[in-house]
Amino acid sequence: MRKSGSQSPTFDKIIEASLQLFNQEGERVITTNHIAERMNISTGKLYYHFRNKEEIVNELYQRYVKGMGEQLSAAINHCNSIEAMVGAMEKTLRHIWSFRFLPQSLPSLFCVNPVLAENHQQISRGQLNNKLGQLFARLREQGMLQGDDSQLQHLVQHFQMVQTGWVTSIRNSASAAELERMVEAGCRSLMYLLSPYVSPRFQQPFQRACARFA
Amino acid sequence: MRKSGSQSPTFDKIIEASLQLFNQEGERVITTNHIAERMNISTGKLYYHFRNKEEIVNELYQRYVKGMGEQLSAAINHCNSIEAMVGAMEKTLRHIWSFRFLPQSLPSLFCVNPVLAENHQQISRGQLNNKLGQLFARLREQGMLQGDDSQLQHLVQHFQMVQTGWVTSIRNSASAAELERMVEAGCRSLMYLLSPYVSPRFQQPFQRACARFA
Amino acid sequence: MRKSGSQSPTFDKIIEASLQLFNQEGERVITTNHIAERMNISTGKLYYHFRNKEEIVNELYQRYVKGMGEQLSAAINHCNSIEAMVGAMEKTLRHIWSFRFLPQSLPSLFCVNPVLAENHQQISRGQLNNKLGQLFARLREQGMLQGDDSQLQHLVQHFQMVQTGWVTSIRNSASAAELERMVEAGCRSLMYLLSPYVSPRFQQPFQRACARFA
Amino acid sequence: MRKSGSQSPTFDKIIEASLQLFNQEGERVITTNHIAERMNISTGKLYYHFRNKEEIVNELYQRYVKGMGEQLSAAINHCNSIEAMVGAMEKTLRHIWSFRFLPQSLPSLFCVNPVLAENHQQISRGQLNNKLGQLFARLREQGMLQGDDSQLQHLVQHFQMVQTGWVTSIRNSASAAELERMVEAGCRSLMYLLSPYVSPRFQQPFQRACARFA
DNA sequence: AATGAATGAGCCTTCATTCAT
DNA sequence: AATGAATGAAGGCTCATTCAT
């Protein structure tokens, strides 16, 4: 996979327009022509910057993973309070939302885009998984979470699955207000998932944080 | 949506061939031509039995939901032991696996097949959700599970999301042996999810059941 | 071309249903399946009675021509008064209307149905033309019409073209009331066409007959 | 309806090839594939310039109407002599001939192409009708024609119907020589139609013009 | 006579991609 | 860098017609 990153202003604009359209209408129904049309550029220009549609998707995938990684890293470094955790969670959900076409399309893309399948197996299931594992480990070190290794390992998986399940359950056409409510609901859902593993002495602040979303 | 059910042997054979191909290759890349070719029938024959590909997918969706509903109903009626529960879980995972293209394709199908989107919102998110809720409520009545209403409600959601996440994470080309391992892993994962809500006096048999999958 | 005529009740029912559908929706968009469906019979049954769609159209054409011929013959035999003429005209228009798909579809059918093309050239342009010519000749004998041979010959052509033009200009979905108005308008139009050739001494009754449609 | 007019050389070539094929073989049997094949271009190219066959037909209709309108306008401006009138008539017939598939296919197209139905009702039955009415009115002003308003109105209708009837009666495969004879016959036919309304003092030049076609 | 499932050629159309300019 | 016309494989689907029963 090519290294992610903006190569030129046009490159970025294509990526952004694609993301918008993919999120709105679904990657499956958006053609390269749609993207070019929406941007008022020629198809030729689009194909000058990307060899094909796959490459656009792959680049978006890279950006998605990079963003997730950054947020997890930040969370790892600032996981000293329940509030910080909740804040991180919310940010993560928003990030997923801003790439919502991906969780929706990835499984169906794998049969068409083997590069992506390969990447997902290694990167996401590797890198992101790891980081989330580290985060939970750190939280255990700090006494916020408890549980044995295999419990936390499963928690990592479940956490990711619930994130994905969350974004998949929202209508693409949700309004800003609806989104806010959904983000709150998503945070609540994730907190319920963590709740059994929150240490007794952190239960109070945790419940208080939960209340914020009630 | 038309009522599900076999209308004729050919109808059923088309459904079965489609399911097989969808599961193997991904619904997105399988065309009606592929299905007809694989079955050695004319496209006309296929279109005599189904107005279009959508109708095939919809019929498969109906069958999927019907099967899930039946299994949940059965589980509700025989939820007297941990073993029974685990058995039900395993059956459910196998059923999902046998329709694995659906959890993978549903999100991307919604932007193309509005009937399906509508149905999913009502049927799955309604009927199946309800049944799973009933099952957990019953388990609580019997003292196997504990937790307040909202905890169990979230457990329902998480349970479904983990099921979906599980099937999505398996390679379509998994061998029979691999599948067996994956089913075990899936059961284990779901048990970890339930574990915090298992009543203390059922923890022992629960852990024993877990051990079966270790 | 096969001799026209009812061969069996089913034969007739197919013809009638076809006529109805052709008139309503246009022969071009009505398939043999439509006809069978509308009649609640199998396609097989339809094809037992007619070798193909062409044969249905041809049979309808035969009936159309036969009806026109009969009406012209009747007119020839009762052309003693202006009123009789006008009545005949009206009947003719109604008959054309009841086969209105034909004037609309004939030209486009010729490139697909050579039998029809051949027949039309000979039958219509022959038989009907002749009869209308006879009628006008008879009217001239009786002193109602005047004009030389070539004038009357052209009148024959124009008369037919105006009939065709008339039916083509009406919406297929015209209501019964609209139809009545259109028939009146059609009669008026044809009378205007004849008017210059009506003998002076018949002008008064002719104008009176015209007034009926004013 | 899109404004008529050449958008590009290819656009025009497609239109011309389509017109030729439609006229030769009948619009009903000519598919977009035929057109592309005949032109030795890819179907994609054709669909790059026209969204579908309908659009090609509509464009041809626009050109047909535009041409008719121009010829009628010219006739209105130069209707000072019988000869000019006859010349205009002949030009009109040739124009209709060059779009002969249209009068043949329009009625059967209406049930398939609602845009065309709508347009025909308004444009042809409106615009062209009007112009022809103006022409006859002008001829009456100049003393060449006589007749009351409703007579001339009907004359307009009949004139158009006879034009249509004329072109419909010619074999598509007519040779150049045959065409010449048919054009003459058509002019003669139209003159017979007008003849009763030609003022007495113009009868002589009118008959002389007629003789040209005898 | 009738059924209705089956055929298959072929239509319309899309769309990722290329390429001359 | 960019244009936008062009390609062509392939997809979805129709429909007149056949045929085993």
Nearest protein residue to nucleotide E18, judged by CA and C1' positions: A44
Q: Kindly report which amino acid residue has its CA closest to the C1' atom of nucleotide E14.
A: D44
Look at residue B214 in the predicted model and tell me its pLDDT: 65
CA distances from residue C15 to A59, A72, C32, C35 in whole angstroms, order as listed: 63, 75, 12, 9
Q: From chain B, pick out residues whose CB is under 8 angstroms from the CB of A27.
A: 108
> Rounded mean pLDDT of B138-156?
96
Q: What is the mean pLDDT of chain A?
A: 93
| A198: β partners | A145
Percentage of chain D modeled with pLDDT above 70: 97
Q: How confident is the model at residue D213 (pLDDT cuts 50, 70, 90)?
A: confident
Mean pLDDT over B131-157 rounds to 96
Q: What is the mean pLDDT of chain D?
A: 93
Q: In this prediction, what percent of chain A has a pLDDT beyond 90?
A: 82
Q: What confidence category does residue D145 fall into, taking pLDDT thresholds of 50, 70 and 90?
A: very high
Q: Show the domains of chain D with their CATH numbers.
A: 7-50 (1.10.10.60), 54-211 (1.10.357.10)
* Confidence band, pLDDT 50/70/90 cuts, at residue A1: very low
Q: How confident is the model at residue C4, as a pLDDT?
A: 60
What is the tens place of the pLDDT at every residue in B83-101? 899 999 999 999 999 999 9
Tens of pLDDT, residue by residue over B108-141, are 999 999 999 999 988 888 899 999 999 999 999 9
Question: Phi first, then psi: what are they for A149, rounded to 5°?
Answer: -60, -45
Q: What is the structure's pLDDT at A3? A: 52
Chain A residues in contact with B105 by the CB 8 A cut-off are 107-108
Beta carbons of D183 and D93 less than 8 angstroms apart:
yes
Nucleotide nearest residue C47, measured CA to C1': F17
pLDDT at B48: 97
Q: Which nucleotide is nearest to A49 (CA to C1')?
A: F1
Q: What angle do CA A9, A12, A18 make, to 5 degrees?
A: 140
Nucleotides of strand E under 7 angstroms from a protein beta carbon: 1-20
Residue in C105, C150, C197 nearest the CB of D108: C105
Chain C partners within 8 Å of D193 (Cβ): 154, 158
The number of angstroms, rounded, from the C-alpha of A195 to the middle of its chain's C-alpha atoms is 21
Q: How high is the pLDDT of residue C214?
A: 65
CA distance readout (Å), A124 to A76, A116, B116, B169: 17, 11, 29, 11
- Mean pLDDT across D178-187: 95
Instruction: Determine the distance from the C-alpha atom of residue C36 to the mean position of all C-alpha atoms in its chain, rounded to a whole number.
Output: 26
Nucleotides of F under 7 A from a protein CB: 1-20
- Alpha-carbon distance D211 to D204, whole Å? 11
pLDDT at D163 over 90: yes
Distance CA C159, CA C179 (A): 20
Q: Which residues contact A117 (CB under 8 A, 6 or more apart)?
A: A109, A110
Q: Pick from A26, A162, A188: which is nearest to B111 by CB?
A: A26
Amino acid (one-letter) located at B179? L
Span CA (A43) to C1' (E17), Å: 10
Is residue A133 pLDDT above 80, yes or no? yes
Tell me the average pLDDT across D179-200.
96
Q: Flag residues of chain C having pLDDT under 70.
A: 1-5, 214
Measured CA D42 to C1' F7 distance, in angstroms: 7
Q: How far is the CA of A52 from the C1' of E16 (A)?
A: 8
Residue C3 confidence (pLDDT): 52
Quick count: other Cβ atoms within 10 Å of Cβ D56?
24
Packing angle, helices B82-98 and B53-77, rounded to 10:
180
Question: Confidence class of residue B213 from pLDDT cuts 50, 70 and 90?
Answer: confident
Percent of chain D with pLDDT over 90: 84
Report how many Cβ contacts below 8 Å link chain C to chain D: 96
pLDDT at C1: 46
Task: Report which residue is nearest nucleotide E19 when distances run from CA to C1'.
Answer: A44
Residue-level pLDDT at D4: 60
pLDDT higher than threshold 80 for residue D67: yes
Tell me how close the Cα of C50 comes to any Cα of chain D, in angstroms: 23
The answer to whether D192 contacts C150, with C-beta atoms less than 8 Å apart, is: yes
Residue B1 has pLDDT above 50, yes or no: no
pLDDT at A145: 96
In this complex, whether D and A touch, counting 3 or more CB pairs under 8 angstroms, is: no
Model pLDDT, residue D211 = 82
